[in-house]
Amino acid sequence: MTNDNAWDYLQPEPFYVKSVVPIRQISAQERRRRLETAKYNLFNLASDDVFIDLLTDSGTGAMSHNQWAALMRGDEAYAGSLSFRRLRNSIEEIFGFEHVLPTHQGRSAELVLMTHFLKPGDHVPNNIHFDTTAAHVQYQQAIDVNLVHDRIYDLQSDHPFKGNMDTAKLESYLREHGDKIPLVCMTLTCNSGGGQPASLENVRRVGEICRQFEKPFLIDSARVIENAWFIQQREQGFSNWSIGAILREIMAQADGMWMSAKKDGLVNMGGFIAVRSHELYEQLRMYEILFDGFSTYGGMSGRDMDALAQGLQECCSPDYLAYRTGQVAHLSVLLREAGISVTWPPGGHAVYVDAAQFCPHLPREQFPAQALSLALYLEGGVRSVEIGSVLRGRDAVTKQDRFEGLDLVRLAIPHRTYSYTQLEFVANTLIRMKADHESIRGVRFVKETPVLRHFTSEFELI
């Protein structure tokens, strides 16, 4: 975990390539023109403007031959689909929850959940809310509260579970605001905190506190299978547990989960809610039918439910998880060896570059992570994403920019897509940029959208 030799993390791909998609790198002059047209927002680029696309691992990976075969089994019945039955059985086997509602992706699950649980003025504690979760909390005129342990802000600390909730803060917050807190959430792994996992000990303690205060506890599970891998590899007492056993123990602490299945589900589209209580299932089912579709498809086609049922099983493979996290670690160490600060230890799905350290000449008000992500595209045709002050948005009460916290550039690695050589190209590009970092220019808003502003706002270089 603390080894500084990048080659020690190299894990051969547990698959061979059966189909390829050509990519090309357009000229630096053309990249600059495309970025100007995109109003300096990388979300506005067309995919063929990009050489290596590390914007997100959400729905951008490659499906296996067994998943493609599963597509052909798809039962497209409006109600009572056999594909839904196979998905429900897979979820119950892996996570232990009986009641399942498919959704078209994670944020529609969040819409169902937050509509049910929240009213204006409520508070929702989390380790760190993912951006869409926070947006759905705020959409209900409630307040998103991040109670992650402070060690997550020490990028160089070797602590293996920086995604842990600070349980002392959680207890204190529940005592002070308990009547305004309808539920407690955890994001596993902690995406906005560098993809860092939480320990099973910490999840158990959060569950105990929630039961003590009689608060529902739900887990944002987009990358919970990767989190289970880190528990097996890093937490004392679990090295002999299977990934499935760890996942069922995680979920035994909670009342329910939701998943954007475009991550650990290894599919291009889909998600679900799963809960223990039949009563809660019936309450959520009403909103599911209103917002997404009937409760046995919920915005997903039958073929996609079958592909997801297969993908969840494949993600639990130790060979796959070793390769998946090995790619992240390999790129992390290459950058670290070159003096580039990244979140440490390596997380599960992405490398997070410390933009404040990379661009010390840029003040927070010039959004250094956004500036670095733009410069990376201009230099190498690599698309990344800002995880910092732009993404955090404005405080729900003061309406001021949230400059506290980390300013990171996330290099999210799509599942089973890029080779180690392509990731080494990314590393070499950043290393080359580091030598001339003072040429990177800050940015400011030209058009700021009020919700999830990083997706659609427009910028200009300063």
Closest to 215 (Cα-Cα) out of 281, 110, 103, 122: 122
Report the chain (462 residues): mean pLDDT per 10 consecutive residues: 69 89 94 95 95 94 96 95 97 97 94 96 95 91 94 91 97 96 96 90 98 97 97 96 98 97 94 97 96 93 97 97 95 96 92 95 93 97 92 79 85 95 97 95 90 87 93
Q: CA geometry: angle at 40 spanning 343 and 355, to 5°?
A: 20
339: which 2 tokens? 């003096």
Alpha-carbon span 236 to 187, nearest angstrom: 22
What whole-number distance in Å separates Cα of residue 358 and Cα of residue 328?
19
**pLDDT value at position 33?**
96
Which two three-digit tokens encode residue 406?
């980390």
Q: Which two tokens stand for residue 294?
A: 């009937």
- 32: number of Cβ within 10 Å: 12
Distance CA 430, CA 238 (A): 37
Report strand pairing: 271-275 vs 99-103.
antiparallel
Neighbours of 146 (CB within 10 A): 21
Q: What is the pLDDT of residue 191?
A: 85
Closest CA to 257 of 242, 272, 270, 278: 272
Structure tokens at 176: 């002070």
- pLDDT score of 2: 53
| Burial of 305 per CB tally in 10 Å (0-12, 13-18, 19+) | buried
Instruction: Kindly state the tokens that stand for 223.
Output: 């990358």
Catalytic residues: 78, 130-131, 220, 222, 263, 454
Smallest CA-to-CA distance from 206 within 171, 154, 180, 248 is with 171
Given a contact cutoff of 8 angstroms between Cβ atoms, the answer to whether 409 and 353 are in contact is yes
Single-letter amino acid code for the residue at 304: D
Structural domains in the chain, sorted by start: 6-57+317-461 (3.90.1150.10), 65-315 (3.40.640.10)
Cβ atoms of residues 53 and 47 within 8 Å: yes
Instruction: Report the pLDDT value the prediction gives residue 3, as an integer from 0 to 100.
Output: 58
Q: What integer pLDDT is reported at residue 6 of this predicted model?
A: 76
Residue matched to tokens 């300096």: 40
Q: Show the tokens assigned to 380.
A: 């190498």
Q: Under a CB-based contact definition with an 8 Å cutoff, are residues 41 and 377 in contact?
A: no
pLDDT for position 388: 86
